[in-house]
Amino acid sequence: MQIKRYETKNMQEALTRIRRDLGPDAIILSTKQIAGDPPLIEVLAARDVVAERPAPAAPPAPPASDAPLSRMAKEIQGLKSSIDLLTRRFSYPCNLPDLMETMSLLLDKGSASNPNHLQDLFIRLISGGISHPMAVRLIEGIKGGYPCEDRDTDEKCSLIAEKLIARSLAVDGRKERRIKAFIGPTGIGKTTTLAKLAAHYSLEKKMKVGLITTDTYRIAAAEQLKVYGKIMGLPVHVAAEKDVFLKALTDFSGKDVILVDTPGRNHQDDRCLNGLNNLLQTGDVEAVLLMSPIANKEYLLEAA
């Protein structure tokens, strides 16, 4: 018997590594929590090592009519292995959401019947925050929309998945507004994003651009935007109060685009957010929310 020990962040990672190292017939001997920051899971897994025997004579090919039954038997056997592996998980305590997510992963027919590199991609998509139905659609889209030679490796399938995800993003068909205010949590990159867009509008589109910052809370925030403005030859106004902000908009009345930087705010700070809302409810201002692409779904929904 071959026994291996794993330390992983979660059970999904352990199952992936066990399947890769020991094969689908491996069994889990024990699991336990390891204290630490972050806490880990220790998993002992094993598989029987069978001595090599002379290969038996190949059985006669089944009649063509038995082919569907043969495929069905193979799928049932794979499903039984998944259920056995899931059953052994009950030997250690786990919370219900984690159990339900692992059950969906193990019993997913599309995942279990795919080549190994597509199964690994499926697990990576879910681990990266892609919903289970979306991950299934992406895998099916790769299988159904591309020839085998275009999706025969992990790298090729990952590139295809990236294209499909980009293609699935909704395109905002609303008319672009002249005044754009960038809002979001502290440190999300509002000032940097604003500077990049200012360069895009002024240098590539040859548009007249004005910059306004309402951020007088963060040290040197206004100076940072002034440096960007000086490099690109764009005027910058500092306007923390509403009357100053209105004057800045008037001064930039001849500009094609006005980009407004705002201070970072915690999404639970109602007082400051109400003040920011009052400031931006002036004229035809488009509020652009910036969020972190690596934050989890719950945080993104709450902050939005």
* HEC assignment per residue over 14-79: HHHHHHHHHCCCCEEEEEEEECCCCCEEEEEEEECCCCCCCCCCCCCCCCHHHHHHHHHHHHHHHH
- Strand duo 2-8 + 209-213: pairing: unpaired
Q: Given a cut of 80, is residue 149 above it in pLDDT?
A: yes
> pLDDT tier at 201 (50, 70, 90 boundaries)?
very high
CB 45 within 8 A of CB 18: yes
The C-alpha angle with vertex 98 and arms to 92 and 103, in degrees rounded to 5, equals 90
What is the distance between the alpha carbons of residues 135 and 121, in angstroms, rounded to a whole number? 9
pLDDT digits (tens, 9 = 90+) for 21-80: 888 878 877 788 887 777 888 888 888 765 555 556 655 555 555 566 677 777 777 667
pLDDT tens digits for 9-38? 888 888 888 888 888 878 877 788 887 777
Q: What percent of the chain has pLDDT over 90?
A: 14
Dump pLDDT digits (tens) for 118-140: 888 888 888 777 888 888 888 88
Q: Which residues contact 1 (CB under 8 A, 6 or more apart)?
A: 46, 47, 48, 49
* Strand-pair category, 27-34 with 40-47: antiparallel
Count of CB atoms situated within 10 Å of the CB of 248: 21
Which string of b and e fits 211-234 if b means at least 16 CB within 10 Å?
bbbbbeeeeebbebbbebbeebeb
